[in-house]
Structure 1
Amino acid sequence: MVSRSLIDNMKKRHTAVLGMTRSGKTYFVSEVFRQLQREGIHTIFVDPKSEIKDLGRICKTPMEAYAALLSKTKNIVFHPPAAKDERVAALNKLMDLIFTLANKPGFKRIRRVIAIDEIQTFVRKGSNDAIEHLYLVGAGKGIVGIGMTQRLQLMSETVWSQSENKVVFRIDDRPDYLKGRNLEHYVEHVPFFMSPEYQYWYYYTAGNGTWQKARPIGSKPAKKSGRPKAPKRLHLKR
């Protein structure tokens, strides 16, 4: 189970999620979405790999998604085009429609959480309009993002800096790069996360600057003697 404080903060503040392939990153976000959906939160999962099929109504074009939004469909999965330029244009169009709708009577009070997997694939050289708009303007309109990628180096500075919630699974970024993004404290935990026993654990902060380890969703609590050391209270610079 994801901590209550993290879930509550993910409803109203942006999130960045990092993790190598098969680290548990996508499963984690999918479970967060299921919990948000049970609580009545409107969700959109942008899945460029077209693998997610059970988190809402599948839409393959921005206008198809817009029709679902107009009908107040609560949960949508958007499978964008495979070609990069078309994929970027589709997300830009979808985001424009979402923000336009947010200003219309009957839609202003709807809160949305939008997860974007492989977020780096939606950045066109010199431009990432949709992502910038979501992370710089969205929270003020009740629209928050969950940006997902495999490495910190692939995460845009805007997404990382604007995310109060940060969730880090196994990553293989260079220590000097981690230090450059104020994540130097993760370096000392690399052996822990790389060990087979703890490969699905994650390291997170829920907007209060304190980082801690968490066991995989659905796993049973360990006996007292087997618990990891209490997390240090670490504060991330913005």
Structure 2
Amino acid sequence: MYEQNLKFGQTIIVCGSRPCVGTSTAASIIASYFAAKEDKTLLLSTDYNHPYDAISLLSDIVADYYMDEMVALENSSGLTPGNFDDYASYVSDNLAYSRLSTKLSGITKDVGRTLARILDTACRVYRYVVLDLDYQSIGLIQKLVQQPGVIVYLFGQDFQSLKTAEAIAERNAEETAAVMLPVLMNCMSDIPVNEATLNKIFKSDVSASIEHDTEIFKSAQKQDIAEFVFRGVSGKQSGLKALFKRKSESE
């Protein structure tokens, strides 16, 4: 049993460069993967535009937007580990989820602060907290990366997407416990992410020899996405950069 004053969970923030890049699907896959390893996992979704995520489609349980109530409680008396489970629907013994029905900005004045406090409390209850961050809230990332864990950024190869990916990599790779996993996954089709794109984001030459299956960057296999994230948060990799060998080091 957890101690209420001990924070031990880790967050996985899943966000995308634009709508409909598979963010909710990726978040659901990652949460399911962790839960299958018998780790208590929570999926939080702020993507109110697509309330029926992959988790709810797999279950007969339909959440009554408990995250709205969670936000209201946090803004009043404060959310505690003791009552957290009252605002989550369990799909299985180890997998719970909760989602919003409206914009966070409509029910709280300080969106970043409220969400950060909810994540902090959740990490005292769950081993892994997966946050499906809606596209319009991507600006909150810098406030949320204080939580230890991983940022999963699904990006396109347009200029703005690459600039955002580059900024996330630069700001978070060293200064916080969060790391970024650049994966491109589109619900309709898979678009390859080439080595030049990765070089641009990480400001260094990456070897064609990758310590894991290179196909993840070509076809964005769902199982590989979850496995990469697990390797990062479980300490088997110190971050995505560890998955690449610089050419100078491999020669």
Q: 2:245 aligns with which of 231, 234, 237?
A: 234
What are the Cα deviations for residues 67-120 of structure 1, in whole angstroms up to 9, with x where unaligned? 972537362332263486768834531322443x46xxxx84642313233456
Task: Indicate the larger mover: 108-117 or 153-162.
Answer: 153-162
1:219-230 aligned within 5 A? none
Whether 1:45 and 2:44 are equivalent positions in the alignment is yes
- Matches of 1:235 and 1:80 in 2, distance apart? 45
- Matches of 2:52 and 2:11 in 1, distance apart? 25
1:63 is matched with 72
Q: Residue 153 of structure 1: SS of its match in structure 2?
A: helix
Unmatched 5+ residue regions in structure 2?
1-8, 57-62, 91-95, 156-160, 185-190, 209-214
Q: 1:167 offset after TM fit, Å?
A: 4.2
Letter in 2 for 1:44: L
TM-score by length of 1: 0.50
CA distance 1:70–1:30, change in 2 (3 Å): closer
Task: Indicate the larger mover: 201-210 or 29-38.
Answer: 201-210
1:95 is matched with 116
Identity of aligned residues (%): 9
For the 8 Å contact 1:15–1:164, the answer to whether it is kept is no
Corresponding pairs, count: 184
Q: How large is the RMSD of aligned CA atoms in angstroms?
A: 4.9
- Matches of 2:39 and 2:87 in 1, distance apart? 12
For the 8 Å contact 1:17–1:148, the answer to whether it is kept is yes
CA distance 1:47–1:53, change in 2 (3 Å): same
2:178 is matched with 163
- Matches of 1:70 and 1:98 in 2, distance apart? 13
TM-score by length of 2: 0.48
1:134 is matched with 144
Letter in 1 for 2:49: S
Unmatched 5+ residue regions in structure 1?
1-10, 212-232
2:202 is matched with 181
Letter in 1 for 2:181: K
